[in-house]
Structure 1
Amino acid sequence: MTNTLHRLNSSTSEANFKLSCDVVHSKIIRHDQSLIDSILAHDNPQEPIITLPDGQKYFWYLAIGSMNNPISLYLRDLIPIISYPAICLNHRVIFRGVGGMADIESCEGSEFDGVVHLLSEEQMNRLDKMEMSYERIIVPVVNYQNQSHSAYAYKMTITSHPDNLPSERYLDIIVKGCEYYGVRPDYIKRLREEQAVTPRKEPHMYQSINDVPSDVLYTIDDLVKHNGSDPNYAIWICINGKILEHVGLPPSDSPEYEAQKQFHTIIQSRFAGREADFEIAKAIYEPLHKLPLNEEDLTDEHRAMLEDHHLSMRSRNDQNNKYWKPIGRLRRSNKITNSSL
């Protein structure tokens, strides 16, 4: 890597990450130590699963990406039984594909640090669904007391994705998670100083949804009617105060049909008939901004960032652009939502 490549600047997000951690600490109910001890009494370091006499199962999971961050875990309703920093032996982390997401590959003699979590079976099953483009593999880990264990890690199912730089936001999440859970400072320093990133955009560079009629306003009640439950109403979503209407699926014999149908189902279940900003903010955590607890917690700059992210995702698949059209703006409490950024 050359010195001209951009490196992580994590100082700008320190204050809001601390505030976010304070919020999480106030919300989480800690596991009772007696429960933890009763689970660990049945642990076998050679196995990545703990099975209790009553059949309950718990899974050792090595997080290599955003799941080593307490805020990312909280936003996905994942509360580990315990967590600790560890070294993964004979493997390395690489960043692949669109967005430069973390992947793991076998590499004799290499090692990297991550965070091991103990999750319930229900949590692990949900995590499997979240990591739909990954598969679980078993890897050897060693904690900082030189105690070895087997753990699950997620490996991309498609390894033909080219190597790519992680975003600055993504690496910031990883680094802050490593710091939070006590990963070795030398490893964190390597991530900061040696791993190049795609730099964050400055707010003035954010993309904005164009061609939104300025004189067409809708209320929250109008928006809710378009949640997909009534076929007489087209699906609407609202991003940064701008309402987009789904214009319909392509013909069933179109090569785009299945992909658009799947995308339509996801949108309907998660975003239809409501403001999408808060849900997107939970999925696309940005340490620069304090963890939002509701729509009102989102600042104008945060909303503008989420709008930019939405447009960036759409631009990666031009097919999506022609199925959504801007139709107006959302009015709240007799005021138009601030969406001029």
Structure 2
Amino acid sequence: MANALHRLNSSLSDQNFKLSLDIVRSKLVPLDQSSIDAILTYDNSQQPTIVLPDGRTFFWYLAIGSMNNPISLYLRNLTPILSYPGRCLNHRVVFRGPGGMADLEPCHEAEFDGVVHLLSEEQMDRLDKMEMSYQRIVVPIIDYQNQSHAVYAYQMTVTNMSDNLPSERYLDIIVKGCEYYGVRSEYINRLRQEQSVVPRKEPHMYQSITDVPSDVFYTLDELAKHNGTDPEYPLRICINGKILEHIGLPPSDDPDYERQKHFHAIIQSRFAGREADFEIAKGLYEPLYKLPLSEEDLSDEHRAMLEDNYLSMLSRGGQSNIYWKPVGRLHRSNKNTTSSL
């Protein structure tokens, strides 16, 4: 298998990652040390939570995937009170499922490194909602000063997921996060040198939405009407300037029905009646590109990459593309330009 021999090349994204870090640092206001110390006064290393006398609760959380990267945290509006690297004992990281996402499993005498964050209750609740296919468990960690602590970590709820290779993009996020938070070089080198990845696609290999009517255009205001709340305006979304319309779910007895129903619910709640590129870019951070702060920050190549990833997600495990049809292109009248991608 050719992919089994491919290793991460993170140097390609170093420059834009540094630029993204500069953006994030300029926007974050860290909690002052006296407030942090006041919280830590009530810390108990045997518990994954800190409960203050006033009832406020804070959670120790071990990130094993993209959440150990400061850019990924920022894009999800997560701001740890403090963070530090550590080793998780008697567990190992595995990559599973169609996307090769990080999971952890018990393994006697094994260990791996990750980043521990202290989060507020509100932020932990938000993270729980993001990690829909994971459950929280308690695991033991030891920091680099040999102090132990119980922390929360996320473990996949689906137990029959097959092992799979992570994407190069995903491992790049993990490695850069580990470097940023000071994870041991031995562990980082292991990820670089031993973990095989699915290589990034070259831009000329990106999939593209085809059969888009060349003479039909919609404005953002017209697109907004198609948010799925009015049956007279079928649900539509815009990807890379191309507008897709949902044409219905499969029959309820179809094997693909539940998956399509779930996918439709996600699309409607997050992207209905809107340009989806920026929101997808936030959830699908790619270190190759500088952190986008708005739709206008996305380059043509970045949008093409997002379109390719969207199509991959659309068809993963089924034929979702048959439930969406291209109906036109976006006309950006406020810029006096028309998308012709």
Root mean square deviation, CA, Å: 1.7
* Residue 160 (structure 1) shift: 1.6
Q: Per the alignment, in what secondary structure is the counterpart of residue 91 of structure 1? A: strand
Mark the CA change 1:253 to 1:235 in structure 2 (over 3 Å): closer, same or farther.
same
**Deviation larger for 65-74 or 240-249:** 240-249
Match of 1:142 in 2: 142
Mark the CA change 1:231 to 1:336 in structure 2 (over 3 Å): closer, same or farther.
same
Match of 1:27 in 2: 27
Instruction: Give the Cα separation in 1 of the matches to 2:81 and 2:55.
Output: 17
Aligned residue identity for 1:100: G
Mark the CA change 1:4 to 1:230 in structure 2 (over 3 Å): closer, same or farther.
closer
Mark the CA change 1:39 to 1:309 in structure 2 (over 3 Å): closer, same or farther.
same
- Does 1:336 pair with 2:338? yes
Match of 1:306 in 2: 306
Aligned residue identity for 2:294: N
* Residue 231 (structure 1) shift: 2.1
**Deviation larger for 262-271 or 9-18:** 262-271
Instruction: Give the Cα separation in 2 of the matches to 1:12 and 1:297.
Output: 20
- Does 1:226 pair with 2:226? yes
Alignment of 1:170-185 (within 5 A): 170-185=170-185
Match of 2:83 in 1: 83
8 Å contact kept, 1:89–1:110: yes
Aligned residue identity for 1:78: L
8 Å contact kept, 2:238–2:330: yes
Percent of aligned pairs with the same residue?
74
Instruction: Give the Cα separation in 2 of the matches to 1:36 and 1:171.
Output: 31
How many residues matched? 339
**Deviation larger for 273-282 or 157-166:** 157-166
Instruction: Give the Cα separation in 2 of the matches to 1:328 and 1:276.
Output: 15
Alignment of 1:193-208 (within 5 A): 193-208=193-208
Instruction: Give the Cα separation in 1 of the matches to 2:269 and 2:252.
Output: 21
Match of 2:278 in 1: 278
Aligned residue identity for 1:192: R
Aligned residue identity for 2:195: Q
Match of 2:111 in 1: 111
Mark the CA change 1:165 to 1:262 in structure 2 (over 3 Å): closer, same or farther.
closer
Deviations 1:287-307 (A, max 9, x none): 001110000000000000000
* Residue 249 (structure 1) shift: 3.3
Unaligned runs of 5+ in 2: none
Mark the CA change 1:111 to 1:239 in structure 2 (over 3 Å): closer, same or farther.
same
Q: Normalized against structure 2, the TM-score is what? A: 0.96
Aligned residue identity for 1:37: D
Instruction: Give the Cα separation in 2 of the matches to 1:4 and 1:252.
Output: 39
Mark the CA change 1:86 to 1:76 in structure 2 (over 3 Å): closer, same or farther.
same
Aligned residue identity for 1:185: S
8 Å contact kept, 2:256–2:318: no
Instruction: Give the Cα separation in 2 of the matches to 1:231 and 1:224.
Output: 14
Q: Per the alignment, in what secondary structure is the counterpart of residue 118 of structure 1? A: strand
- Does 1:323 pair with 2:323? yes
Q: Per the alignment, in what secondary structure is the counterpart of residue 36 of structure 2? A: helix
Q: Per the alignment, in what secondary structure is the counterpart of residue 162 of structure 2? A: coil
Match of 1:63 in 2: 63
Mark the CA change 1:72 to 1:4 in structure 2 (over 3 Å): closer, same or farther.
closer
Aligned residue identity for 1:223: L
Aligned residue identity for 2:337: K
- Does 1:266 pair with 2:261? no
Mark the CA change 1:62 to 1:318 in structure 2 (over 3 Å): closer, same or farther.
same
Mark the CA change 1:118 to 1:219 in structure 2 (over 3 Å): closer, same or farther.
same
8 Å contact kept, 2:3–2:197: no
Mark the CA change 1:162 to 1:3 in structure 2 (over 3 Å): closer, same or farther.
closer
Deviations 1:25-59 (A, max 9, x none): 11111112111111000000111111111111111
Match of 1:288 in 2: 288
Mark the CA change 1:252 to 1:163 in structure 2 (over 3 Å): closer, same or farther.
closer
Deviations 1:249-284 (A, max 9, x none): 345565554443332222122111110000000010
Instruction: Give the Cα separation in 2 of the matches to 1:73 and 1:120.
Output: 14
* Residue 4 (structure 1) shift: 6.6
8 Å contact kept, 1:240–1:338: no
Aligned residue identity for 1:336: T
Mark the CA change 1:332 to 1:27 in structure 2 (over 3 Å): closer, same or farther.
same
Match of 2:132 in 1: 132
Q: Per the alignment, in what secondary structure is the counterpart of residue 145 of structure 1? A: coil
Aligned residue identity for 1:285: Y
Match of 2:192 in 1: 192
Q: Normalized against structure 1, the TM-score is what? A: 0.96
Match of 2:37 in 1: 37
Mark the CA change 1:230 to 1:139 in structure 2 (over 3 Å): closer, same or farther.
same
* Residue 184 (structure 1) shift: 0.7
Instruction: Give the Cα separation in 2 of the matches to 1:87 and 1:42.
Output: 23
Instruction: Give the Cα separation in 2 of the matches to 1:320 and 1:175.
Output: 32
Unaligned runs of 5+ in 1: none
Instruction: Give the Cα separation in 2 of the matches to 1:135 and 1:52.
Output: 25
